[in-house]
Amino acid sequence: MVGGLVLALAACSSTFKDDPNSQASLDKLYSEAKDDLASGAFDRAIKGLEKVEGRAAGTVLAQQAQLDIAWAHYKSGDRAQSISALDRFIKLNPSSPAMDYALYMKGIVNFNEDMGLFGRLANQDVSERDQQASRDALLAFRQVVEQYPESKYAPDASIRIDFITNTLAAYEVHVARYYLNRGAFVAAANRAQSAVKEFETAPAVEEALSIMVRSYDKLGLEKLRDDAERVLRKSFPKSQYLAGNEPAAKKSWWKFW
């Protein structure tokens, strides 16, 4: 009788041990996936994490696996899949305590996609690049700062907001300058005005106002020209644009070296 009981307990123990949904099995699978992630085996890590997410559905571990999947895609260079994974997490877990991190990561993925590292941009004006990723990053970082002001990610998000805001303003001015140089004065004035309205605290606003002045002057719109020049004088009383002399070899605001 005792022997039969021992065999029965052993069988139960074996079944529990082999259960892929047991906590022990999930912990082991997650640990292996994290090891793959750390070693750079991203495809294998993603497959393991997807299994964890599926088997641990509805748990904190499943949420963590979702975030790790997004990170794995990002590290493997697949920005689109990373953003997709983050959007899915945000949709499925609106009350998650990790929401601030998910939004911050979404900002980082877009930020690095559009900006790159400073060293990689040494010989490239970031204001001349397409800025959609910057706008997406700006939105995500603003959500972190506005919705989770006490988050440990909020300070860094604030710094990145300032950087992106300045970049977007510089981009608008770059386009406005392009139109101005080609005689498309209406388009130049409109683009410069957009920069002034949307990014009023950015350094590029100074040139935006000067473009408005010159564009309106070419169009014979004296009142608008005078209004723009009045704002330029008040906001930038020492502006070199007021004298009609653009700064020579002006250093881009985003270059720190």
Distance between CA atoms of residues 227 and 42, nearest Å: 57
Residue 12 reports pLDDT greater than 60: no
Residue pair 82/90 in contact (Cβ under 8 Å)? The answer is no
Q: In the prediction, which pLDDT does 116 show? A: 47
Q: How many CB atoms lie within 10 A of CB 243?
A: 8
pLDDT tens digits for 25-36? 888 999 999 999
pLDDT band at 125 (very low <50, low <70, confident <90, very high): low
**Average confidence score pLDDT of the chain:** 85
State which amino acid sits at residue 140: A
pLDDT tens digits for 152-203? 999 999 999 999 999 899 989 999 999 999 999 999 999 999 999 999 999 9
Q: What is the average per-residue pLDDT within 64-88?
A: 95
Residue 82 reports pLDDT greater than 50: yes
Distance between CA atoms of residues 193 and 201, nearest Å: 13
Residue 226 reports pLDDT greater than 90: yes
> Hey, what are 171's tokens?
């981009």
Q: In order of start, what are the domains of the chain with their CATH numbers?
A: 22-95 (1.25.40.10), 111-130+164-257 (1.25.40.10)
pTM above 0.85, yes or no: no
Q: In the prediction, which pLDDT does 112 show? A: 80
Q: Is 43 left (phi over 0), alpha (psi -120 to 50) or beta?
A: alpha
